[in-house]
């Protein structure tokens, strides 16, 4: 039985067109693009075509795109490049809600001579822009801020931040892994210096990512090796996956409108129905600008892993920022940063849709969720609606 | 992916004995909303003093709910004496095992049971004694030490799995390591208290405890101890070396030897000294 897959912010199904386009590069066109012979060289031509597709999706020039192995590699490359390019600057500014690929590297750097400022978010999940501008200085080597948050889907004002930083000549990197393919991105209009994206979030396979490096940005490579990617990333190209990423970017471009109409309508329907039918629940980032496919909710007096496991019984795939699912014992850093009330902090669940999600699937989830929440609350020593009026309306 | 046994899943999806007994004889509540898991346990005794009914309410992940459900099944029909011997390992075993990082769920079950029994007996509620080591989850040094000894824990990660201590900001990892190091320097026998002991088992256990737990400590101070006889629950011993002439020997006997024997063998043993 195929699952009802509502965990597309974690990863996506490889599109049929992508898989079909990739297959010849495993055993028919297996040449090395760096080779002098035509057999290898023709693979190189296809890589350039893919580079154009990636650039086309985000409004970049093809030679500003470097292929990497994943979003994490893109993030690491961008951050190391920025600090290595300005060795005298010892300050980094980022946010409290970054993906571990940025967060943990910044924490590592803070133990190794760097000062790191973390921009807080408010209850809506939006950035404290005053904190951001107040903490910029001559010593700032890099600002790294995600375009959209993976857990809540809240979109940050990257255009505005990029303009501010451009005026002050501070290098700006954005982790756009969740934003690419879901909202329009045009780097001709948004002056970010570096941008990370990942293939497997947009129906390409795992193991392929890309980093946009604006022409003129000082750059030092992360993987030092051969002359591949014009010396910006050593290592023989993952040819089949690069071809796949190119196709996926073309598809994403075609689906962008659908994502912001059909998918958004389905997400809104799910959100409205769950809020209507289930008491003591909140939508994280409800009043913020959000990705059209993401719904992050918290339910009072129950725990997220239990919800997930119940959903799993109905073959519904979702995820949770709750402690018990992450292997840690505290709720996700994103929900904590937003100050979600402690009565609901452990009961989080994230549904993330794709253009493949159907109305029937959403209706099935709407049918099952209220009973699941009710059943778990019956088990909870804290659930007594008459004695526990929700504190959430104050929040 | 969840590494849960079929039994854990069964108890999670079909929890037994959910609720609160109205006229309960004992109640135990542990955990909190802020901590991420909590358990309320109530039980009722029959006229013979055995647990006739037990019910629970749990806020937490699947393994917390399953551990609570299992616990209520396990204690039904037991006397309080028997129930109090249930360890977190027993709960985990009943469920066919729990993932390492979920062992604290079974510890929560054991804690709630002990609280409920204390509540029935009218004993003052045992407050977390000692000093708070983990501020994120409010775990004390004594609680960590107990978990380390009872479950043979050797790493900070294991302590976190069993007690949650160190699972938040991580600032206390060094202190936890110190506690682990402290325990491993003083090798101890696991307290084994079989429900029914034959005389032979009892005698062997007394001898073993004297050899491994008591003699080394006395010898440090130049003393020694000899087992003379065992009659029912009275253990006759002879003190030797510096212990024999020590005016504090009565205190030594009462407070040390007896408590050790009670801990490792039987809770109602009495120690008497035989003068030569």
C-alpha–C-alpha distance, residues A320 and A302, integer Å: 12
Q: What is the CATH number of domain B199-273?
A: 3.30.300.130
Q: Which residues of chain A have pLDDT under 70?
A: 322-329, 386-391, 393-395
CB contact under 8 A, A309 and B12: yes
Helical H segments across B80-172, by residue range: 80-83, 88-94, 103-121, 141-151, 156-163
Instruction: Please tell me which residue of chain B has the smallest CA distance to A320.
Output: B61
Note the pLDDT of residue A336: 87
Q: Judging by beta carbons within 10 Å of its beta carbon (0-12, 13-18, 19+), is residue A110 exposed, middle or buried?
A: middle
State yes or no: pLDDT of B165 exceeds 90: no
Asked which of A18-32, B31-45, B189-203 is least confident by mean pLDDT, the reply is: B189-203
Residues 6+ apart with CB under 8 A from A248: A15, A18, A181, A199, A202, A203, A204
Q: Which string of b and e fits A137-151 if b means at least 16 CB within 10 Å?
A: eeebbbbbbbbbbbb
Note the pLDDT of residue B203: 85
Query: Which residues of chain B form CATH 3.90.1010.10?
Result: 6-121
C-alpha–C-alpha distance, residues A79 and A108, integer Å: 12
Tokens of A199: 């293939």
- The answer to whether B115 faces chain A, any CB pair under 8 Å, is no
Residue A75's H or E segment, with its range, is: helix A71-85
SS3 content of chain B, % helix, strand, coil (to 5): 45, 20, 35
Distances (CA, A) of B143 to A304, B111, B129, B179, B187: 27, 11, 8, 10, 18
CB contact under 8 A, A342 and B37: no
Residues 6+ apart with CB under 8 A from A272: none
- The DSSP output letter for A394 is G
Residue A365: half-sphere exposure toward Cβ, Cα within 13 Å: 32
C-alpha–C-alpha distance, residues B92 and B104, integer Å: 10
C-alpha–C-alpha distance, residues A349 and A360, integer Å: 20
Instruction: Please tell me which residue of chain A has the smallest CA distance to B136.
Output: A330
Our answer to whether residue A70 is catalytic in this structure is no
Note the pLDDT of residue B220: 74
CB contact under 8 A, B57 and A381: yes
Q: Which of A325, A323, A322, A316 is nearest to B2 (CA)?
A: A325
Residues 6+ apart with CB under 8 A from B28: B39, B40, B41, B42, B111, B112, B113, B114, B115, B116, B117, B118, B119
The shortest CB-CB distance from B58 to any of A305, A313, A381 is to A381
CB atoms < 10 A from the CB of A261, how many? 11
C-alpha–C-alpha distance, residues A210 and A98, integer Å: 18
Note the pLDDT of residue B211: 86
Query: Per-residue pLDDT tens for A294-314?
Result: 999 999 999 999 999 999 999
Q: A67 has which bridge partners?
A: A210
State yes or no: pLDDT of B115 exceeds 60: yes
Distances (CA, A) of A164 to A90, A133, A159, A168, A192: 20, 8, 9, 7, 10
Note the pLDDT of residue B191: 55
Domain parsing of chain A, residue ranges: 4-8+256-381, 16-252
Query: Which residues of chain B form CATH 3.30.300.130?
Result: 199-273
CB atoms < 10 A from the CB of A27, how many? 8
| Predicted interface score ipTM higher than 0.90 | no
Query: Per-residue pLDDT tens for B210-245?
Result: 888 888 877 777 778 888 888 888 888 887 777 666
CB contact under 8 A, B59 and A323: no
Could you say which architecture CATH assigns to the domain B132-185? Orthogonal Bundle (1.10)
C-alpha–C-alpha distance, residues B48 and B27, integer Å: 19
C-alpha–C-alpha distance, residues B133 and A354, integer Å: 46
Tokens of A360: 């029937």
Return the residue matching tokens 């980094």. Answer: A92
> Which carries the bigger pLDDT value, residue B127 or residue B153?
B153
Return the residue matching tokens 């001579």. Answer: A113
C-alpha–C-alpha distance, residues A187 and A62, integer Å: 12
C-alpha–C-alpha distance, residues A208 and A237, integer Å: 10
DSSP class per residue in B185-228: HS--PPP---SS--HHHHHHHHHHHIIIIIHHHHHHTTEEEEEE
Q: Tell me what the pLDDT averaged over chain B comes to.
A: 85
Instruction: Report the residue count for chain A.
Output: 395
Contact list in A for residue B136 (CB cut-off 8 A) is 329-330
C-alpha–C-alpha distance, residues B145 and B138, integer Å: 14
State yes or no: pLDDT of B170 exceeds 60: yes
Instruction: Report the residue count for chain B.
Output: 276
Q: Judging by beta carbons within 10 Å of its beta carbon (0-12, 13-18, 19+), is residue A157 exposed, middle or buried?
A: middle
Asked which of A261-270, B56-65, B66-75, B213-222 is least confident by mean pLDDT, the reply is: B213-222
E-strand ranges in B171-233 read: 223-231
Note the pLDDT of residue B275: 72
C-alpha–C-alpha distance, residues A12 and A248, integer Å: 11
Tokens of A170: 């501070």
Note the pLDDT of residue B232: 81
Contact list in B for residue A328 (CB cut-off 8 A) is 167
> Which carries the bigger pLDDT value, residue B170 or residue A355?
A355
Answer for the pair B21, B44: CB distance below 8 angstroms, yes or no.
Answer: yes
Over residues B181-205, the mean pLDDT reads: 71
The shortest CB-CB distance from B59 to any of A302, A309, A330 is to A302
pLDDT band at residue B166 using 50, 70 and 90 as cut-offs = confident
Query: Which residues of chain B form CATH 1.10.10.1100?
Result: 132-185
The shortest CB-CB distance from B62 to any of A306, A342, A382 is to A306
Q: Are strands A140-144 and A91-95 parallel, antiparallel or unpaired?
A: parallel
Tokens of A48: 């350039």
Over residues B100-105, the mean pLDDT reads: 86
Angle at the Cα of A302 from the Cα atoms of B54 and B9, rounded to 5 degrees: 60
Q: Which of A282, A380, A278 is nearest to A335 (CA)?
A: A282
| C-alpha distance from A388 to closest chain B C-alpha (Å) | 13
- The answer to whether A301 faces chain B, any CB pair under 8 Å, is yes
Provide the CATH topology of domain B6-121: Sufe protein. Chain: A (3.90.1010)
Q: Which of A248, A148, A251, A174 is nearest to A207 (CA)?
A: A248
> Which carries the bigger pLDDT value, residue B11 or residue B136?
B11
State whether CATH 3.20.20.70 applies to domain A16-252.
no
Cα–chain-centroid distance for residue A208? 14
For A144: left if phi > 0, alpha if psi spans -120 to 50, otherwise beta; the answer is: beta
Q: Which of A174, A179, A177 is nearest to A160 (CA)?
A: A174
| C-alpha distance from A216 to closest chain B C-alpha (Å) | 40
Over residues B53-57, the mean pLDDT reads: 97
Note the pLDDT of residue A49: 98
Q: Which of A269, A304, A273, A68 is nearest to A177 (CA)?
A: A68
State yes or no: pLDDT of B194 exceeds 60: no
Q: Which class is domain A4-8+256-381?
A: alpha beta
Note the pLDDT of residue A321: 73
Percent of chain A with pLDDT over 70: 95
C-alpha–C-alpha distance, residues A324 and A303, integer Å: 8
């Amino acid at each position: 039985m195929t699952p009802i897959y509502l965990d597309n912010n974690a990863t996506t199904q490889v599109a049929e067109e992508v898989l079909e386009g990739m297959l010849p590069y495993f055993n028919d066109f297996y040449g090395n693009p760096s080779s002098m012979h035509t057999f290898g060289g023709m693979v190189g031509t296809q890589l350039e075509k893919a580079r154009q597709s990636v650039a086309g999706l985000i409004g970049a020039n093809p030679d500003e795109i470097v292929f990497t192995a994943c979003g994490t590699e893109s993030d690491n490359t961008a951050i190391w490049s920025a600090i290595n390019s300005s060795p005298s600057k010892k300050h980094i500014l980022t946010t409290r809600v970054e993906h571990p690929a940025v967060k943990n590297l910044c924490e590592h750097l803070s133990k190794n001579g760097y000062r790191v400022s973390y921009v807080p978010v408010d209850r809506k999940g939006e950035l404290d822009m005053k904190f951001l501008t107040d903490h910029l200085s001559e010593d700032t080597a890099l600002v790294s801020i995600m375009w959209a948050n993976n857990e809540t889907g809240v979109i940050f004002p990257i255009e505005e931040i990029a303009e501010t930083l451009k005026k002050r000549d501070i290098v700006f990197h954005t982790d756009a892994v969740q934003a690419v393919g879901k909202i329009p991105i045009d780097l001709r209009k948004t002056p970010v210096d570096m941008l990370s994206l990942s293939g497997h979030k947009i129906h390409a396979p795992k193991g392929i990512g890309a980093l946009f490096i604006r022409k003129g940005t000082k750059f030092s490579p992360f993987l030092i090796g051969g002359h591949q990617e014009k010396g910006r990333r050593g290592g023989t190209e993952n040819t089949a996956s690069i071809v796949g990423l190119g196709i996926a970017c073309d598809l994403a471009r075609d689906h962008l409108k659908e994502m912001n109409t059909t998918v958004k309508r389905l997400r809104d329907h799910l959100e409205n129905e769950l809020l209507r039918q289930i008491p003591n629940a909140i939508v994280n980032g409800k009043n913020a600008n959000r990705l059209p496919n993401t719904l992050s909710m918290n339910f009072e007096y129950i725990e997220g892993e239990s919800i997930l496991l119940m959903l799993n019984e109905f073959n519904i795939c979702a995820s949770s920022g709750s402690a018990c699912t992450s292997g840690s014992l505290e709720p996700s850093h994103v929900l904590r940063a937003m100050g979600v009330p402690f009565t609901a902090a452990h009961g989080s669940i994230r549904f993330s849709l794709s253009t493949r999600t159907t109305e029937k699937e959403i209706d099935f989830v709407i049918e099952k969720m209220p009973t699941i929440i009710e059943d778990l609350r019956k088990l909870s020593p804290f659930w007594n609606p008459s004695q526990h009026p929700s504190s959430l309306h104050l929040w | 992916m969840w590494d849960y046994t079929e039994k854990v899943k069964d108890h999670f999806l079909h929890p037994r004995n959910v609720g609160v007994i109205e006229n309960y004889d004992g109640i135990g509540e542990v955990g909190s909303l802020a901590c991420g898991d909590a358990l309320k346990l109530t039980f009722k005794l029959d006229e013979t003093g055995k647990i006739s009914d037990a019910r629970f309410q749990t806020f937490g992940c699947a393994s917390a709910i399953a551990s609570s459900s299992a616990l209520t099944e396990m204690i039904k029909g037991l006397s309080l004496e028997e129930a109090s011997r249930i360890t977190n390992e027993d709960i985990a075993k009943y469920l066919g095992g729990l993932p390492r990082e979920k062992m604290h769920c079974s510890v929560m079950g054991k804690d709630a049971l002990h609280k409920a029994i204390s509540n029935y007996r009218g004993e003052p509620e045992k407050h977390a004694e000692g000093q708070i080591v983990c501020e994120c989850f409010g775990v004390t040094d004594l609680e960590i030490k107990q978990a380390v000894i009872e479950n043979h824990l050797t790493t900070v990660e294991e302590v976190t799995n069993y007690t949650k201590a160190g699972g938040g900001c991580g600032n206390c990892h060094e202190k936890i390591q110190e506690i682990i190091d402290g325990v491993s320097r003083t090798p101890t026998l696991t307290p084994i208290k079989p429900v029914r002991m034959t005389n032979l088992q009892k005698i062997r256990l007394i001898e073993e405890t004297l050899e491994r737990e008591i003699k080394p400590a006395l010898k440090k101070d130049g003393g020694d101890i000899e087992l003379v006889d065992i009659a029912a629950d009275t253990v006759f011993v002879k003190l030797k070396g510096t212990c024999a002439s020590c005016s504090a020997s009565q205190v030594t006997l009462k407070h040390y030897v007896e408590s050790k024997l009670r801990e490792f063998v039987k809770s109602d043993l009495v120690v008497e000294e035989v003068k030569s």
